[in-house]
C-alpha cells in the first residue's frame, strides 16, 4: 500500500554509475604504481587478469566525455592505494596524485560529482607481505593514505567511501583472496583482520570530520535481505543469525560502535572472536558515518542447519551463500529466477533491503552497486552502428529503480543510485566477457582488439531515466 502523501526522489538525486580501480584502470604497474594483492591474485583458467582491463588509465578523458553524455550526476570510482603509495606507505608517488587530480578535474569540468572509494579489495602487496590487515600497522598505513588523499583531493571531492564490501572480504576470503589458508585457523585470523579494518574505518571517518568538515563519508558494505527458506521457526532463526553475521555486524559497528550481539555469539561459538585491545572500543565509538552506501545484486535465502552438513568451503563467487554448519545452510528461493551466474534476481528484495537498513539506522542511503552481468554481444543497429541490444539489463535496472522509488515513497531517504558499472570492466572472478557496463569495451579475454567504446541500448535508456528523473523508465 502506498502512502498517499508519496515522497519523490530528491531534486538533487545523484544518478550515477560505479567502477573500481583494479577492474577498470589497467596500467597495473605504470608510472610507479606498486602491486596490490588483487593484481597478483590467481585467475581462473580462461579468464583475463587485471593488467589492462578497460585501459581507463589512458582513456579516462574519452570515458568521462561519454559519462557526461550519459548524463551522470556522479561517478563512483576507487583510488588505487598503490598508485599513491606503491608499497602502502612511505614516499608518495607523484604520478599517482597527478592521475587522480586530472581525473577529478575532468569530472568537475563536466559537472559530475566525484564519489571516491578509498579501498576496494586492493591492499598493497607490500603490506600484505608484512601481515596485511592482521598487522595493526596496516591501520596506521591506511590512515596515512586517507590523510594524503583527503589533503590532495578534499578541496574538490565532497563524498567519500571508506571500504568497499568489507563483509565480502571476510565471508568470501577465499573468493577474494583475503583468506590465508596456510594459517592454522584462517577464519579466526580473518575476524581479527575484520576488527582492524573496523578500527581503520572509524579513525578515517573521524579524520575526515577533522580535515574536511564539510565532506560526507560512509561505509560501502554489501547488504541484502535474508529470507528464511520456510516459516519454520528454526529457518527464521537461521535467517536472523545469518543476517546478523553478514549484514548487521558491519553496520552496527559503523553506526553504533558496537559488535552485534548475535554475530558476536556466533564468533564465540566458533572460537573466532578477535582480540580487542585496550582503547579499541573508544576508537570505535562516536564514529557514525554521514550516510550508508551499500551494494545490492541479489537477496539470499537460508534454512536451518542440521549441524551435519559438510562445510561447503567456498563458492568462488562473493554473491553466493556459503553455509555455516550448525547455524544456517544455503537454500534456493524458488520464487526467484536466477541470472546466468546463478544469482537470484530480486527487485522487491532490494526494496525490503532499503527499508530494513533505513529503519535500523535512520541515515541517508546511497546505492553504490546494482546491475546485471551478462555475455553481451556487439551487433549492428538499424543505422549500421555497433551496439549491444541489452534489453535484459534494462529490465533488471528498471525493476530495481521502480522498487527504489517505491521505497522512497514509503519514506526511505535515498540520495543516489550508482549501477555497476559505468563502463565494461573486468569482473572480480569471471573475466571481461561478463559485462555490466552502459558502454561496451571492444576486447576479449586475451585479445585486446582496439578497446574501442560503443554505447549500448542501456546507455540511451539510462540517459532518459536521468534526464526525466526516472519519470520515464
Residue from 96, 373, 416, 431 binding ligand BGP (CB under 6 A): 373
Catalytic: which of 25, 106, 165, 344? 165
CB 401, min distance to ligand BGP, A: 18
Is residue 182 helix, strand or coil?
coil
Q: Is 62 noted as a catalytic residue in this protein?
A: no
DSSP string, 419-434: -B-SS---BTTTBTTS
Q: Which stretch binds ligand BGP (CB under 6 A): 3-11, 241-249, 262-270, 422-430?
A: 422-430
Residue from 39, 113, 165, 346 binding ligand BGP (CB under 6 A): 165
Separation CA 330–CA 323 (nearest Å): 5
Which class for 328: exposed (0-12), middle (13-18), buried (19 or more C-beta within 10 A)?
buried
DSSP string, 107-156: HHHTTPEEEEEEESS--BHHHHHTTGGGSTHHHHHHHHHHHHHHHHHTTT
164 is a site residue for ligand BGP (CB under 6 A): yes
Neighbours of 209 (CB within 10 A): 14
CB 420, min distance to ligand BGP, A: 6
Of 308-347, binders to ligand BGP (CB under 6 A) are: 318
Residue from 76, 83, 246, 434 binding ligand BGP (CB under 6 A): 434
Separation CA 440–CA 421 (nearest Å): 11
DSSP string, 342-385: SPBP-HHHHHHHHHHHHHHH---EEEEE----B----EE-TTS-
Of 201-240, binders to ligand BGP (CB under 6 A) are: 222
Residue from 20, 117, 138, 194 binding ligand BGP (CB under 6 A): 20
Tell me if the bond preceding 421 is cis, omega within 30° of 0: yes
Q: Which is nearer to ligand BGP, 127 or 169 (CB)?
A: 169
Q: Is 144 noted as a catalytic residue in this protein?
A: no
428 is a site residue for ligand BGP (CB under 6 A): yes
CB 341, min distance to ligand BGP, A: 7
Separation CA 425–CA 405 (nearest Å): 28
167 is a site residue for ligand BGP (CB under 6 A): no
| Residue 398 and residue 470 in contact, taking contact as beta carbons nearer than 8 Å | no
295 is a site residue for ligand BGP (CB under 6 A): yes
435 is a site residue for ligand BGP (CB under 6 A): no
369 is a site residue for ligand BGP (CB under 6 A): yes
Q: Strands 300-303 and 329-331, how do they pair? A: antiparallel
168 is a site residue for ligand BGP (CB under 6 A): yes
Residues lying near ligand BGP in the complex (CB under 6 A) are found at 20, 23, 164-165, 168, 222, 295, 318, 369, 373, 420, 427-430, 434
Q: Which residues are catalytic?
A: 165, 369
Amino acid at each position: 500500500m502506498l502512502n498517499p502523501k508519496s515522497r519523490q526522489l530528491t531534486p538533487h538525486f545523484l544518478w550515477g554509475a560505479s567502477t573500481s580501480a583494479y577492474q577498470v584502470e589497467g596500467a597495473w604497474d605504470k608510472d610507479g604504481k606498486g602491486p596490490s594483492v588483487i593484481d597478483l591474485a590467481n585467475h581462473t583458467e580462461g579468464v583475463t587478469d587485471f593488467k589492462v582491463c578497460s585501459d581507463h588509465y589512458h582513456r579516462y578523458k574519452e570515458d568521462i566525455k561519454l559519462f557526461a553524455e550519459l548524463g551522470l550526476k556522479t561517478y563512483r570510482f576507487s583510488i588505487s592505494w598503490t598508485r599513491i603509495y606503491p608499497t602502502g606507505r612511505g614516499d608518495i608517488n607523484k604520478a599517482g596524485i597527478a592521475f587522480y587530480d586530472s581525473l577529478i578535474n575532468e569530472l568537475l569540468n563536466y559537472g559530475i560529482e566525484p564519489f571516491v572509494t578509498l579501498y576496494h579489495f586492493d591492499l598493497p602487496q607490500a603490506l600484505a607481505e608484512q601481515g596485511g590487515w592482521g598487522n595493526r600497522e596496516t591501520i596506521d598505513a591506511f590512515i596515512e593514505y586517507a590523510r594524503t588523499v583527503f589533503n590532495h583531493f578534499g578541496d574538490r571531492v565532497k563524498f567519500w567511501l571508506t571500504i568497499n564490501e568489507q563483509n565480502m572480504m571476510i565471508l568470501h576470503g577465499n573468493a577474494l583472496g583475503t583468506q590465508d589458508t596456510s594459517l592454522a585457523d584462517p577464519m579466526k585470523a580473518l575476524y581479527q583482520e575484520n576488527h582492524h579494518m573496523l578500527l581503520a574505518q572509524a579513525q578515517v571517518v573521524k579524520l575526515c570530520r577533522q580535515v574536511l568538515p564539510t565532506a560526507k563519508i560512509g561505509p560501502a558494505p554489501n547488504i541484502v535481505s535474508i529470507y528464511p527458506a520456510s516459516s519454520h521457526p528454526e529457518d527464521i532463526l537461521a535467517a536472523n543469525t545469518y543476517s546478523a553475521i553478514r549484514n548487521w555486524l558491519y553496520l552496527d559497528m559503523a553506526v553504533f560502535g558496537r559488535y552485534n550481539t548475535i554475530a558476536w555469539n556466533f564468533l564465540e561459538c566458533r572460537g573466532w572472536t578477535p582480540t580487542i585491545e585496550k582503547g579499541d572500543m573508544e576508537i570505535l565509538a562516536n564514529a557514525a558515518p554521514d550516510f550508508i552506501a551499500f551494494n545490492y545484486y541479489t537477496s539470499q535465502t537460508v534454512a536451518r542447519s542440521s549441524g551435519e552438513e559438510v562445510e561447503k568451503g567456498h563458492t568462488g563467487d562473493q554473491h553466493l551463500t556459503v553455509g555455516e554448519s550448525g547455524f544456517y545452510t544455503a537454500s534456493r528461493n524458488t520464487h526467484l529466477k536466477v541470472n546466468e551466474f546463478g544469482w537470484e534476481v530480486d527487485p522487491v528484495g532490494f526494496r525490503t533491503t532499503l527499508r530494513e537498513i533505513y529503519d535500523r539506522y535512520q541515515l541517508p542511503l546511497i546505492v553504490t552497486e546494482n546491475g546485471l552481468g551478462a555475455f553481451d554481444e556487439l551487433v549492428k543497429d538499424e543505422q549500421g552502428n555497433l551496439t549491444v541490444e541489452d534489453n535484459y539489463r534494462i529490465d533488471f535496472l528498471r525493476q530495481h529503480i521502480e522498487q527504489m522509488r517505491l521505497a522512497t515513497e514509503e519514506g526511505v531517504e535515498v540520495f543516489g543510485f550508482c549501477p555497476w558499472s559505468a563502463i565494461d570492466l573486468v569482473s572480480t572472478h569471471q573475466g571481461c566477457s561478463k559485462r555490466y557496463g552502459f558502454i561496451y569495451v571492444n576486447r576479449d579475454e586475451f585479445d585486446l582488439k582496439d578497446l574501442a567504446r560503443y554505447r549500448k541500448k542501456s546507455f540511451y535508456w539510462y540517459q532518459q531515466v536521468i534526464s526525466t528523473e526516472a519519470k520515464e523508465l
